[in-house]
Chains A and B, each alone.
Chain A
């Protein structure tokens, strides 16, 4: 499986994302610059964390109009897996690929630590290697991770099982401790915690690896003939 790691000016988790899929999973990965006009050669799209365009105006606000975002939308429409982590999640909400918005943490602090996450929905292409309700340990590193949406959006998210991860504790003010959501179709996931930073016990934990394994597993089942 071949992944594109999109690099915006100001991305800083692109190397971690690349390392996770290339070195830990042994899949193909390439960096793709933000003005690229073609993502047709990739099977999965990864939007890494960081501070695209310096977080000017709002996190992800300017990145949503990067040339590559039209291609990311096309990939999402084609049903390819699209994963946005941290700033990548913020970009996906700004671009309208996921509902809601990430606000400043309620304590106004940038928070960087490992937190407990509950897998709310293990029946997605991103989480099939987890068990429903499983608690995993994944690092966060954000100042604007306070998920906000209106009541109607929240009811829809709940009804459609679009809440994929929630925090074990409320530390940033996210509505119902939401940490990650998926689109209705189930192929676009945005999450504030960093699974790509939890892919080896050597770096403090490997609970994030199953997320990438899930993507690959689903893709193989759909695309590789067993005949």
Chain B
């Protein structure tokens, strides 16, 4: 069993109004040092070991569904996990 951690982030060229709103709030709270906030998504997938190359498979499913590469980038980490 593998635990796959997927991080989906907005591309740099894409404005992030949510991130800007959060940064404004942080500034008001007195954290003026915060220069930028970008909000993304974090997903965990539990995947059974099988015939398929897991790295290729995760890359494919990220590309097809988990991220929209018009506006988002993704990266992932694969870890050994103990099946329950």
Chain A residues in the interface with B (C-beta under 8 A): 57-58, 61-62, 65, 93-94, 99-101, 103-108, 148-150, 173
Which chain A residues border B71 with CB–CB below 8 Å? 101, 103, 148
B15 contacts A150, CB within 8 Å? no
Which chain B residues border A103 with CB–CB below 8 Å? 14-15, 17, 71
Chain B residues in the interface with A (C-beta under 8 A): 13-15, 17-18, 21, 65-66, 68, 70-71
A106 contacts B17, CB within 8 Å? yes
B70 contacts A107, CB within 8 Å? no
Q: Given contacts A57-B65, A101-B70, are A173 and B17 in contact (CB under 8 A)?
A: yes
Which chain A residues border B18 with CB–CB below 8 Å? 104, 108
Which chain B residues border A99 with CB–CB below 8 Å? 70
A148 partner, pick from B21, B66, B70, beta carbons under 8 A: B70
B68 partner, pick from A94, A106, A107, A108, beta carbons under 8 A: A94
Q: Tell me how far the C-beta of A75 lies from the nearest C-beta in chain B, rounded to whole angstroms.
A: 22
B70 contacts A108, CB within 8 Å? no
Interface on chain B toward A: helix, strand, loop, or mixed SS? loop
Q: Tell me how far the C-beta of B76 lies from the nearest C-beta in chain A, rounded to whole angstroms.
A: 16
Which chain B residues border A105 with CB–CB below 8 Å? 17
Which chain B residues border A108 with CB–CB below 8 Å? 17-18, 21
Q: Tell me how far the C-beta of B68 lies from the nearest C-beta in chain A, rounded to whole angstroms.
A: 6
**What total of A-B pairs shows CB separation below 8 Å?**
35
18 contacts between A and B (CB under 8 A): A57-B66, A58-B68, A61-B65, A61-B68, A62-B65, A93-B70, A94-B68, A101-B68, A103-B15, A103-B17, A103-B71, A105-B17, A106-B17, A107-B17, A108-B18, A148-B14, A148-B71, A150-B13
Q: In the complex, A101→B13 CA distance in Å?
A: 13
Among A57, A62, A99, A108, chain B packs the most CB atoms within 10 A around the CB of A57
Which chain B residues border A104 with CB–CB below 8 Å? 17-18
Which chain A residues border B13 with CB–CB below 8 Å? 150
Q: Given contacts A61-B65, A65-B65, are A100 and B17 in contact (CB under 8 A)?
A: no
Closest to B11 in A: A150
Q: In the complex, A94→B18 CA distance in Å?
A: 21
Among B14, B21, B71, chain A packs the most CB atoms within 10 A around the CB of B71
Which chain B residues border A62 with CB–CB below 8 Å? 65
Which chain A residues border B17 with CB–CB below 8 Å? 103-108, 173
A173 contacts B15, CB within 8 Å? yes
Which chain B residues border A149 with CB–CB below 8 Å? 70
